[in-house]
Amino acid sequence: MPLFGTDGVRGLANGPLTADLALTLAQATAVVLGQGRTAEARRAAGKRLTAVVARDPRVSGEFLSAAVQAGLASSGVDVFDAGVLPTPAAAFLIADIDADFGVMVSASHNPAPDNGIKIFARGGVKLPDVVEQRIESAMAWEKLQPTGAGVGRIRRFADAEDRYVVHLLGALEHRLDGIHVVLDCAHGAASGVSPETFRDAGARVTVIGADPDGLNINDGVGSTHLSQLAAAVRDAGADLGIAHDGDADRCLAVDADGNVIDGDQIMAILAVAMKQRGALAHDTLVATVMSNLGLHRAMADHGIRVLQTAVGDRYVLEAMNEGGYSLGGEQSGHVIMSRYATTGDGLLTGLQLVSEMARTGKTLAELASIMTVYPQVLVNVKDVDRSRAADDEAVQAAVAEASAELGDSGRVLLRPSGTEQLVRVMVEAADEATARRSAERLADVVRERLAL
């Protein structure tokens, strides 16, 4: 089974994800990412490679981050220890100080016992599959073992947070004066920097989920648990709420009445605003196949093309880089604004969303009304042969029949899992009852035809 998943190496900390594994992975990363022309030129000039390392506040991040830093320094890499910061902050800092690469220790929205290791190349960009495969191969056989003055140094990156805050504030078109926002920081990496940044931008800020103890990250709070945020917004009479996940690369919102504003709606708001000011490259938004039909319709109404990708922010990023697009993301709240970031950035997204409220004088509910969210029903059909989903004639006939019944008022998507014998059936329709009826009927056909 491959070591790298869709977003780095992830697992139970001190289970599969041990300090030994983290150290060896860091050593292999130093070997592979130290082979480029820029890295060779640095060595030729007598300079060592440099790397930024950051983590979220979960307790296992302390020993895993220490192991990563030890592996890098023992391979001759100078390490800038940025401490607890969001994943997008780490990506930004790599580019900002022209480091050779960087490592983020985080399991994002997963519970506290899990952790992960995300590796970024020069410029703060995620690694392509082929480079991850080279790193995994190098773990088995290759190390750099300098001695004496050749070993790397580990230094505290003292102004890391300040650099990131200045960057975020510099990206704002309008200040947030007069807007009351509740921030849910998921007891995660945004707990310090997000409230500070929103206040510096002029917002009145109420904070929940910002008391990390190493064990409570994502525990009933954050972007995967929005009920507390909705209640806090209503109780405080706030204008909106912003929810991050554990490493703050996501942003979801709730309006003044506590209604959820998901990633599709946020992208719709930002896409229209960016087009109006000529900042939406090629008048195109990049979104995954799971994005709501309502997003497609809203964008068509505003003359914006939606380019679809496979599910996963890495595929959104690939499409954005290949086509030179400026905005993309996922329904889950990973929103990428390529002018300012190389990855999803929950703080940047939240600031831009509130800035649009300040610019227009509209409520979040008014802004979100440009998109009608179609009911979306997802059924996971387990214990089936996912490899035959695209070829089985009866399954494809059932998909065609369901699509024809829905017509322009709905959509059908069959998506085999990439990791288990499971097929996901997703149906959108004008009402939930129709969507559920169609999804369950189609799921029955998949279950019958593809059973193992």
Q: Which residues are catalytic?
A: 108
Distance from C-alpha of 449 to C-alpha of 16, rounded to nearest angstrom: 36
Euclidean distance between CA atoms 279 and 223, whole angstroms: 28
- Token pair belonging to 377: 């029903």
Nearest to residue 128, comparing CAs of 381, 261, 318, 284? 318
CA distance 395 to 383: 16
Side-chain-side CA neighbours of 249 within 13 Å: the count stands at 28
Residues 6+ positions from 202 with CB-CB distance below 8 Å: 175, 176, 177, 178, 179
The secondary structure element, H or E, covering residue 306 is strand 305-309
CB atoms within 10 A of CB 219: 15
Handedness of CA 13, 19, 23, 24 (dihedral sign): negative
Count of beta carbons in the 10 Å neighbourhood of residue 301:
11
CB 108 within 8 A of CB 7: yes
Both tokens of 147, joined, read: 């001695």
Task: Provide φ and ψ at 219, rounded to 5°.
Answer: -80, 90
Using CA atoms, how far apart are residues 356 and 358, in angstroms rounded to an integer? Answer: 5
* β-strand pairing of 101-105 with 114-121: antiparallel
Residues making up the binding site for Mg(2+): 108, 245, 247, 249
Helix 160-170 to helix 346-360 angle (10° resolution) is 30
Whole-number Å distance between alpha carbons of 73 and 91:
20
**Furthest-apart CA pair in the chain: how many Å?**
73
Q: Give the bridge partners for 183, in sequence order.
A: 207, 242
Contacts of residue 54, Cβ cutoff 8 Å, sequence gap at least 6:
65, 82, 83, 84, 85, 86, 87, 89, 90, 93, 102, 103, 104, 105, 160, 189
Start-to-end C-alpha separation, the chain:
22
Instruction: Name the binding residues.
Output: 108, 245, 247, 249
DSSP state of 284: E
Could you tell me if 363 and 266 are in contact, meaning their C-beta atoms sit under 8 angstroms apart?
no
